[in-house]
Amino acid sequence: MIDNSVFTDLFSPAKLGEIELSNRIVMAPLTRSRSNKEGIPTELNATYYAQRASAGLIISEATNISAQGLGYTMTPGIWTEEQVAGWKIVTDAIHAAGGKIVMQLWHVGRCSHVDLQPNHEAPVAPSAIKADGMVFTDKGIQEVSMPRALRTDEIPGIIDQYRHAAVCAKRAGFDGVEIHSANNYLLEQFIRDSTNHRTDQYGGSIENRTRLVLEVAEAVTHIWGGGRVGIRLSPVTPEVGNTPLDSDVMATYGYLIQQLNKFKLAYLHFVEGATGQNRNAPDGVDLDALRALFDGAYIGNNDYDLEMAISRRAENKIDAVAFGRLFISNPDLVERLRYGIDLTSNYKNSHYGNGAAGYIDWPQADLSHLDSSHS
């Protein structure tokens, strides 16, 4: 049971920008690969998300902004009318259950395979540097393909993809969007000097390498207003594809975060450490110091448990906490944490694909024995 003598406001309402939350527990974005082949969400996805609607905020699974942005089969998209209609079923179900959801906007960049790309073309990236990773295709798991470097005159088209997706997300009934600039997908491939060897205005200096993500933030906040846009960064993760870190994490991400302040975003969301692994940062990197450069609210993520969340919240290090894996097997995670109910363990083989099994069949705890003092 939770020690009730420890005060925490994790279970109390909060605001991230203009998004009002019933509590400070956030469901982290989780790719589950259960859309149909056209990237259209279905009733199955609506059931899954609605089961988790007691989270103060759900961040959707990463959602492809274009056919070019796709890197994993059966992941959802947000660029066609059919995808908008599919997502509307999901957002309606979450809202009916009293929840909130923002959409995570995704372009995988070099983390793709020619089999997933329009006309079997090479995936695009800041530079023609191959990732050391695997992706799911219709033929199973395959090594990523060699990418080609985007031409400078193609960059406005990338920003247009984000703009269009942001408009579609609004029409699909979301409460906001999260710019996926983490886990070494396209935007972070531009940010890090390990993956960006360009010589135009999108490469070289920190100012140049952060230009694309800032232009995307500008485009997306123009659609939504800053108060409904968040951004996810992962300054020290090698995921995905064994990507080396930037050679000066503090300078690069420090500059980026200070520039982001002008958009008055709803929140900054960090993966603290290596995604889904340890929380260590290399010598000389202080993620709390980077977070302190941001003027708005902050969501912390990566290998948290309730105790760590309570203590980091008490120290004012986080405004909200995002749990990923725990939400897979505990749809009622908020209630379980709040009332000290045992958690169900998470079976990894149900992460991706496999339909309803391991997706919508996790048990809800019986709360009927709780007395009114817990309400």
Contacting positions for ligand FMN (CB under 6 A): 28-31, 61-62, 104, 180, 182-183, 232, 271, 275-276, 301-304, 323-326, 351
The values of phi and psi at residue 199, to 5°, are -120, 5
What residue has token string 């329009």? Answer: 118
Give residue number: closest CB to ligand FMN: 324
Give the nearest distance from C-beta 207 to ligand FMN in angstroms: 25
Give the nearest distance from C-beta 124 to ligand FMN in angstroms: 19
Give the nearest distance from C-beta 326 to ligand FMN in angstroms: 6
* Distances in whole angstroms, Cα of residue 330 to Cα of each of 324, 333, 338, 343: 10, 5, 13, 7
Give the nearest distance from C-beta 372 to ligand FMN in angstroms: 31
| HSE-up of residue 27 (Cα within 13 Å, Cβ side) | 33
Q: Where are the alpha helices (DSSP H) in the chain?
A: 43-51, 81-96, 155-171, 186-191, 206-209, 211-224, 249-260, 287-292, 306-314, 325-329, 333-339
Residue type, 33: S
Catalytic residue selected from 185, 202, 253, 255: 185
* Distances in whole angstroms, Cα of residue 102 to Cα of each of 11, 16, 172, 176: 19, 12, 11, 5
The nearer residue to ligand FMN, 136 or 304, going by C-beta atoms, is 304
DSSP conformational letter for 349: G
Nearest to 201 by CA among 130, 150, 254: 150
The nearer residue to ligand FMN, 65 or 149, going by C-beta atoms, is 65
The nearer residue to ligand FMN, 262 or 348, going by C-beta atoms, is 348
The nearer residue to ligand FMN, 201 or 280, going by C-beta atoms, is 280
Give the nearest distance from C-beta 107 to ligand FMN in angstroms: 12
Angle between helices 155-171 and 81-96 (to 10 degrees): 40
Angle between helices 249-260 and 211-224 (to 10 degrees): 20
The nearer residue to ligand FMN, 254 or 353, going by C-beta atoms, is 353
Residue type, 32: R
Give the nearest distance from C-beta 212 to ligand FMN in angstroms: 18
E-strand stretches of the chain: 14-16, 19-21, 25-27, 57-64, 101-106, 124-125, 134-137, 140-143, 148-149, 176-181, 229-233, 267-271, 297-301, 320-323
Asked if 186 and 125 count as a contact pair (C-beta separation under 8 A), the reply is: yes
Give the nearest distance from C-beta 69 to ligand FMN in angstroms: 13
Residue 253 annotated as catalytic? no
Asked if 168 and 105 count as a contact pair (C-beta separation under 8 A), the reply is: no
Residue 24, token pair as written in the block? 């400070």
The nearer residue to ligand FMN, 30 or 135, going by C-beta atoms, is 30
The nearer residue to ligand FMN, 254 or 276, going by C-beta atoms, is 276
Residues labelled as active-site residues: 185
